[in-house]
A and B are shown apart, each in its own frame.
Chain A
Amino acid sequence: MGRVAPSFEEVGGKQQPAVGLGETVSRTVSELRVAYESGRTRSLEWRQSQLRGLLRLLAEEEAAAFRALREDLGKHHAEAYRDELGVLVKSANAALREVWVPLIAFPARAQLEPQPLGVVLVFSCWNVPLGLSLEPLIGAVAAGNAVALKPSELAPATAKFLGDNIGKYMDATAVKVIQGGPEVGEQLMEHRWDKVLFTGSPRIGRVVMAAAAKHLTPVALELGGKCPCIFDTLGGSARDLQTAVNRVVSGKWSSCAGQACLAIDYVLVEERFVPVLIKAIKSTLKRFFTDSDHMARIVNARHFQRLSGLLKDTSVAASVLHGGKLDAKNLCIEPTILLNPPLDSAIMTEEIFGPLLPIITVKKIEDSIDFVKARPRPLAVYAFTKNAALRRRIVEETSSGSVTFNDAVVQYGIDSLPFGGVGESGFGQYHGKHSFEMFSHKKAVLTRGYLIELSARYPPWDGSKISMMRQLYRYNYVGFVLTFLGLKK
């Protein structure tokens, strides 16, 4: 079989495919199929045991998880708990509490029977490497599927952590971790899956979906975008201003140093308000980041170069108001604020995914709505405002995966809210019950008895039968059908 073109190149330079990689992947896939076909993953007991196993893993190996995240990203364990482990513990507990089991008692009427899709594949991402691996895993096992998890090779310590521990705490024949880079991803997509969830860049998202199309494999794509933050004047309250700035700073630099799909990408603010805002951000940065320990580093040299490249453009460099210091050895970029870089520069057309914050000024804050609308739909739109009319306009006129007012990123932890994108930021949603549904098929089941028979249904169809049906339908089609089917008195 030929290689799928184009390939998954994320790192510059193709890696040599391992000998027998295709066979290894094929074997893994068939083992998962056998495990699923055995029916084991369908029982309530199995699903609960997997979720409990995961909770035990997160409790017992917490220190090792923190170490892995610090090694991969320089993430502080408070951030790691807040954004990854803590959320996972909450999700797994919630999944255990809800009894999302298929109805074993046979229905007497019309109903929906949720069934596992079968054998599913989860591609995770490097920036929230634990969370983006395990949150989908929770949904997939809660729904009764066998799961293959491919963590990102760009967060190798976390990938190893998962590889070492998942098999120990969960059913290793039905839940497998597959390590490797783009070539492994390619091999995996040569196979048919019952669902694939991909978190990552739009470029690779296209490749995954194109490969899935060959097998009619349904996909969900969690992509990114430039999440704007509309910052309104807040009625002059210094305390509220500080609260808002705390949240903006946290929503940019406390989220993996801005390397998060939900991080604030850029800020829109009225011209006259800029000095106040910048002063507040600067002082908050000083207060929060007392040492480099409290902000994640850039994941690797390639992304470091990409980010420094964004600042190389002379007109962009000229717009830097604060920060800009680059430490290539430690892969650290200090929090950087830019004021009105050119709108056609890369920093304003590509997702930044780093600790650089452009501030774009508008004449009236309402102008920011048109600004956002003119651009691809992001994963999230943020707005700090007390103006209810502005709030309503933002919800009604912009489109994004989600909208959060007066805070940022926190929507991720609310599992009653679906998490996912729209347009260029992706499709498919999960978290909470949505995770269960993402990996289920809701089968419609209708049962009839033999008592109610309507002879007009059957050929030969003459005028009287036809007019009888028409009569019934004209009266109340839906009611008629339901009565006809014995579902309505």
Chain B
Amino acid sequence: MAEEAKAVVGELRASFKAGRTRPAEWRAAQLRAIVRMVEEREQDITDALHADLAKPSMESYLHEISLAKAACTFALKGLKNWMKPNKVPAGVTTFPSTAQIVSEPLGVVLVISAWNYPFLLSIDPVIGAIAAGNAVVLKPSEIAPATSAMFAKLLPEYVDNSCIKVVEGSVPETTALLEQKWDKIFYTGSGNVGRIVMAAAAKHLTPVALELGGKCPAIVDSNVDLHVAMKRLAVGKWGCNNGQACIAPDYVITTKSFAPELVDSLKRVLERFYGEDPLQSADLSRIVNSNHFHRLTNLVEDKEVAQKIVYGGQTDEKQLKIAPTVLLDVPLDTGLMTSEIFGPFLPIVTVDKIEDSIDFINSKTKPLAAYLFTKDKKLQDNFVSNVPAGGMLVNDVALHLANPHLPFGGVGDSGMGSYHGKFSFDCFSHKKAVLIRGFGGEAKARYPPYTTEKQKILRGLINGSFFALILALLGFPKEKR
């Protein structure tokens, strides 16, 4: 296994060294091929996602396929500009000179993907790596085996295999890959494995981007259009892989006085969305596997927790389905409130004043996303200024990931590094500083032996003084003969 991993990296290094991935034409060709793959094989992709997660075809289209295509199109449009060197002011000290920042590929990079958006979270970073001119290995999640197999079969039919490879496998294969030397590793998944990835990267001084999770809070104020807010909250939670999404709202915070109204509205929305028997709805993803199914059912097994269920709670172990479930005021020390849920349970936490929710959120680790539903500008300001999070949305949920002008990534325990849009290109690039001087503008003042006169001029030069520059260029201090 180690031999195979080494061989794969070796082949990619040779391709990269040969310069295959550098020309804009190559990068654009790969991106166009991916667009073609998404268009021609949409049914295969949708089928794989359905096999892995029972993902409704609307979600597959909206959240995976169309976003992948959009990422390619955005990169294709921006590529030439992104590849251009960026001129920057060089300043007085080195006059005359020109300075620029040149983007270059890091080299050979590894993308390790997750199981919940197995298509998007694989192809999106790969798109960035290609746009930036790297050779790339994709290791799709083995927990979404149909999508992993689909990549292994389809991708080679469309892209340049000498530079872009899919390696399937689970822990042993991933470990073997992590032992190799990469120029960057991009990992999406859990904090535990994120630590393992970073520790492996440390051995080779490899920079990493980690897209992890956390408990994304959603504050709901009483000053809202409640019905619209609940629709958005619901589709952001249960319409995103039935809560198995890193940016799905994990829990809700609202005031004690507003909670009954909120629960009421939420119940009505859920019934409208998923009907009276949600386990029969085709619009709900299933839980990915029995491991996670049992992990989730264990979270509500405790009587103290189960009695807080105000809606839902139905499960079907055979189908691995769990219905949207709302709980009110569960004890704060249970698993449901201390670990990332990643499933269809939505605890509602109540506070006395809505402002208290800020401290509550900050008592936990920094989440990937934080949400606030309110029309109150002061609360909005307070929220934005005082809640550290990867990204935030006010009056909606999850959409920010679709905006290619916003960087998508975590902070603290929710990760490091960001991507989407041009940020993907930057994620897989090295910004090389290039300074070009001529032979004019020789400032004798720089060189030893250091006399007092020289130092005066040198000080001025360093501080950007034009006068000092002129003196220096005129050859001061004049040498005594």
Residues of A within 8 A of B (CB): 76-79, 81-82, 86-87, 89-90, 102, 104, 106-107, 110, 112-113, 115, 117-118, 194, 202, 205-206, 209-210, 212-214, 216, 218, 221, 223, 234, 237, 239-240, 243-244, 246, 249-250, 254, 288-291, 294-295, 373, 391, 395-396, 399-407, 410-411, 413-419, 422-424, 426-429, 441-450, 453, 457-461, 465-466, 469-470, 473, 477-478, 481-482, 485, 487
Bound: A424/B191 CA distance, A? 26
Pick the most buried of B69, B375, B403, B448: most chain A CB atoms within 10 A of its CB: B448
* Interface contact A402-B434, CB-CB below 8 Å: yes
Interface residues in B, total, Cβ within 8 A: 105
Contact of A414 among B94, B283, B393 (CB under 8 A): B94
Q: Within 8 Å CB of A106, what residues of B?
A: 377, 380-381, 384
Q: Within 8 Å CB of A458, what residues of B?
A: 231, 234-235, 239, 273
Q: Within 8 Å CB of A399, what residues of B?
A: 104, 107, 430, 432
* Interface contact B205-A202, CB-CB below 8 Å: yes
Min CB–CB distance B199 → chain A (angstroms): 4
Q: Within 8 Å CB of B210, what residues of A?
A: 216
Interface flag for B61 (CB, 8 Å): yes
Bound: A195/B439 CA distance, A? 41
* Interface contact B274-A460, CB-CB below 8 Å: yes
Min CB–CB distance A322 → chain B (angstroms): 18
Q: Within 8 Å CB of A422, what residues of B?
A: 106, 430, 432
Bound: A87/B430 CA distance, A? 24
A82-B446, A106-B377, A214-B195 in contact; A413/B462 too (CB < 8 A)? yes
* Interface contact B436-A416, CB-CB below 8 Å: no
Contact of B66 among A234, A407, A477 (CB under 8 A): A477
Contact of B447 among A246, A404, A448, A482 (CB under 8 A): A246
Q: Within 8 Å CB of A429, what residues of B?
A: 431
* Interface contact B407-A243, CB-CB below 8 Å: no
Interface of B is mostly: mixed
Min CB–CB distance B381 → chain A (angstroms): 5
Stretch at the interface among B142-150, B315-323, B328-336, B411-419: B411-419
Bound: A209/B210 CA distance, A? 14
Q: Within 8 Å CB of A104, what residues of B?
A: 381, 385
Bound: A459/B284 CA distance, A? 9
* Interface contact B448-A417, CB-CB below 8 Å: no
Bound: A417/B437 CA distance, A? 14
26 chain-A/chain-B pairs, Cβ below 8 angstroms: A78-B458, A81-B455, A214-B195, A240-B439, A244-B439, A246-B442, A246-B447, A294-B449, A399-B430, A406-B439, A414-B90, A414-B433, A415-B91, A416-B89, A417-B435, A418-B431, A446-B396, A447-B393, A449-B395, A453-B231, A457-B235, A458-B234, A459-B56, A460-B275, A460-B281, A466-B61
* Interface contact B411-A441, CB-CB below 8 Å: yes
Residue of chain A at shortest CB distance from B370:
A443
Bound: A325/B199 CA distance, A? 44
Interface flag for B265 (CB, 8 Å): no
Residue of chain A at shortest CB distance from B22:
A396
Contact of A461 among B58, B406, B446, B462 (CB under 8 A): B58
Q: Within 8 Å CB of B313, what residues of A?
A: none
Min CB–CB distance A452 → chain B (angstroms): 10
Contact of A485 among B22, B235, B390, B403 (CB under 8 A): B403
Bound: A239/B439 CA distance, A? 9
**Residue interface bits B420-443, CB-to-A below 8 A is 1, else 0:** 000000000011111111110010
Q: How many A-B residue pairs have CB under 8 A?
A: 293
Bound: A77/B458 CA distance, A? 12
Contact of A81 among B273, B438, B458 (CB under 8 A): B458
A205-B205, A213-B199, A288-B447 in contact; A414/B212 too (CB < 8 A)? no
* Interface contact A216-B212, CB-CB below 8 Å: yes
Bound: A110/B403 CA distance, A? 9
Segment 93-114 of B: residues with Cβ below 8 Å from A: 93-94, 97, 99, 101-102, 104, 106-107
Min CB–CB distance A200 → chain B (angstroms): 12
A395-B102, A458-B231 in contact; A481/B402 too (CB < 8 A)? yes
Contact of A288 among B91, B101, B448 (CB under 8 A): B448
Residue of chain B at shortest CB distance from A237:
B439
Interface flag for B459 (CB, 8 Å): yes
* Interface contact B432-A427, CB-CB below 8 Å: no
* Interface contact A448-B459, CB-CB below 8 Å: no
Q: Within 8 Å CB of B446, what residues of A?
A: 82, 250, 254
Contact of A481 among B57, B93, B381, B403 (CB under 8 A): B403
Interface flag for B267 (CB, 8 Å): no
Q: Within 8 Å CB of A447, what residues of B?
A: 380, 393-395
Min CB–CB distance B64 → chain A (angstroms): 12
* Interface contact B394-A446, CB-CB below 8 Å: yes
* Interface contact A288-B449, CB-CB below 8 Å: yes
Q: Within 8 Å CB of B107, what residues of A?
A: 399, 423
Interface flag for B24 (CB, 8 Å): no
Contact of B235 among A82, A90, A250, A459 (CB under 8 A): A459
* Interface contact A414-B435, CB-CB below 8 Å: yes
* Interface contact A216-B58, CB-CB below 8 Å: no
Min CB–CB distance A436 → chain B (angstroms): 15
Bound: A111/B202 CA distance, A? 33
Min CB–CB distance A485 → chain B (angstroms): 6
Q: Within 8 Å CB of A446, what residues of B?
A: 391-394, 396, 399-400, 403, 406
Interface flag for B47 (CB, 8 Å): no
**Residue interface bits B247-274, CB-to-A below 8 A is 1, else 0:** 0000000000000000000000000011
* Interface contact A459-B283, CB-CB below 8 Å: yes
Extra pairs beyond A216-B195, A395-B434 (4, CB < 8 Å): A216-B416, A295-B448, A423-B106, A445-B384
Bound: A289/B449 CA distance, A? 6
Q: Within 8 Å CB of A112, what residues of B?
A: 406-407
Interface flag for B51 (CB, 8 Å): no
* Interface contact A289-B94, CB-CB below 8 Å: no
Q: Within 8 Å CB of A289, what residues of B?
A: 448-449
Bound: A371/B181 CA distance, A? 21
Interface flag for B404 (CB, 8 Å): yes
Q: Within 8 Å CB of A79, what residues of B?
A: 450
Residue of chain B at shortest CB distance from A487:
B403
Segment 177-233 of B: residues with Cβ below 8 Å from A: 183, 191, 194-196, 198-199, 201-203, 205, 207, 210, 212, 224-225, 228-229, 231
Interface flag for B339 (CB, 8 Å): no
* Interface contact A403-B434, CB-CB below 8 Å: yes
Bound: A413/B394 CA distance, A? 42
Pick the most buried of A295, A453, A460: most chain B CB atoms within 10 A of its CB: A460
Residue of chain B at shortest CB distance from A76:
B450
Residue of chain A at shortest CB distance from B210:
A216
**Residue interface bits B367-380, CB-to-A below 8 A is 1, else 0:** 00000000101001
* Interface contact A448-B448, CB-CB below 8 Å: no
Chain A to chain B: the 10 pairs with minimum beta-carbon distance, closest first = A78-B450, A209-B202, A213-B198, A86-B462, A294-B448, A417-B433, A444-B406, A444-B391, A416-B88, A402-B433
Contact of B93 among A413, A427, A477 (CB under 8 A): A413
* Interface contact A466-B57, CB-CB below 8 Å: yes
* Interface contact A81-B399, CB-CB below 8 Å: no
